[in-house]
Amino acid sequence: MKIVFPQGITWRPVASYFFLLLIFFALLQLYAARVLGLYGALAVVVSLSVGLAWLLYHRVVSPLNEISETAREMARGRLNRELRIYSQDEIGELARNINNMARQLRETISIITEERNRARAILDSMADGVIALDREGHVLVINPVVEELFDLRQEECQGKNILGVIRNYDVERILQKALNKQEPISEEVKIIGPEPRIFRLHATPLKGSGQETGGVVVLLRDVTERRKLDQMRTEFVANVSHELRTPLTSIRGFVETLLDGALEDPATARHFLEIMNKETERLTRLVDDMLYLSKIEERRVVHRWQPVDLEDIINRVVSLFRPQAREKEINLSVELSRELPRVQGDPDMLAQVLINLVDNAVKYTPARGRVTIRAAVLEDKVRVEVEDTGIGIPAESLPRIFERFYRADKARSRELGGIGVGLAIVKHIIRAHGGKVEVESTPGKGSLFSFTLPLDKESPS
């Protein structure tokens, strides 16, 4: 008959316990039959007890101590340690199971760590800001984009309420709404941080275990530049429509007047035709400047790169405006450094830059004023300045002065024939030459427009 032990118990310990029982029973029988005396029986029992204690310590106590110490090490996170117990009893089986468990834990932790690092790498490489919140609305994770946008640190904001991290009630309202309704929400908000920005927020709730909410992930997309471009596009259409409508309305009115009988009066007809001619020239100039600006912005202009003598260009441009300056009694002067070096560029485009700057300076400088053109070498670049003693530009208009169709004084600009694209053309031409254009101005005292061009011998790309 086959003896079946309960699952997990081997036959070796059962046989050893049965063998010990037989030994003690035999000793009792020998003592009862007076074959062994009391001292002899005690000597045999002590010897067997010492042997049994040694066996118990070697087979049970020592392995259990090792198992206990290893378990403590594993609890501290040291999963590389393994038990060196190879016996075929329950303790050996326990040691093998613990070793297998440690291996499985190492593999699981390695997989989790790899997934966490992969998720962190994805977050770090995203161009949009990401904020993860728990079900209470406290910050769990932010990516580097959020750190840079709001000057934050992951360690400082972790565990804080979102309102303590991004001080904006609209953001908190959107996130609470997403947490409460457990539905994705997308809205635009304006956040006043280090500088005003417009963000497109997309909040997506996370499902937790069971029916519990698991927090929310917020994606912040900076749409500030896009909104600025939309505004500029709207202003561009409005400005172009206005600039075209004014001369067209004027021309149409004079044509109708001529058709109604004014054509019979030669003096009146000639006066109307002269006005119509000026308005037509204005329309032509507007269309030409718009087409030229469009070509520059879309990089469809073919540059004729060559060494350019700035001194020659400056003198030619100044000679063009001498009669106009003389008529207004404006002192038009030139101050150039000796041996001004050549620069790489397109001579026609650089001449256009100077024409636009000097034209504005002469136009907006009152009679008996002063316009000065300077050029000098500064380290590895040439700096050209056009300074006037004109009406100046308000401080609030300086950041936008190089935008197309932007005019600081709209009434005076229109009166002088300005259409607001000259400085935009200047900006794009100088950028195409690898330089930079700047402006300084004080209302009532004048303006200083300057641009720099590199001195390197290679043509800009």
DSSP letter string, 341-396: PPEEE-HHHHHHHHHHHHHHHHHTSPTT-EEEEEEEEETTEEEEEEEE-SS---GG
* Distance (Å, whole) CA 33 – CA 27: 10
The domain segmentation of the chain, as residue ranges, is 11-115, 126-227, 228-296, 305-454
Task: Report the CATH architecture of 126-227.
Answer: 2-Layer Sandwich (3.30)
Which parts of the chain have pLDDT scores under 50? 1-2, 4-5, 7-8, 411-413, 459-461
Task: Report the CATH architecture of 305-454.
Answer: 2-Layer Sandwich (3.30)
pTM of the model: 0.51
Q: What is the DSSP letter of 146?
A: H
Q: According to the model, what pLDDT value does residue 171 have?
A: 80
Q: According to the model, what pLDDT value does residue 386 have?
A: 94
Q: Using alpha carbons, list the distances in angstroms from residue 157 to 123, 198, 234.
A: 17, 22, 40
Q: According to the model, what pLDDT value does residue 460 have?
A: 44
Q: According to the model, what pLDDT value does residue 369 have?
A: 92
For residue 169, report the phi and psi dihedrals to the nearest 5 degrees. -70, -25
Q: According to the model, what pLDDT value does residue 13 have?
A: 59
Quick one: which H or E segment has residue 334? strand 331-336
* Distance (Å, whole) CA 374 – CA 447: 14
CATH 3.30.70.120 fits 228-296, yes or no: no
* Distance (Å, whole) CA 246 – CA 362: 25
Most distant CA atoms of the chain, gap in Å: 165
Count Cβ atoms below 10 Å from residue 28 Cβ, excluding itself.
12
In a 3-state reduction of DSSP, which class is residue 50?
helix
Q: How close are the terminal C-alpha atoms of the chain, in Å?
A: 96
Query: Of 107, 104, 68, nearest to 85 (Cα)?
Result: 68
Q: According to the model, what pLDDT value does residue 11 have?
A: 58
Side by side, the strands of the sheet bearing 129-133 are 139-142, 129-133, 213-222, 196-207, 185-192
Query: Of 91, 69, 89, nearest to 81 (Cα)?
Result: 69
* Distance (Å, whole) CA 271 – CA 278: 11
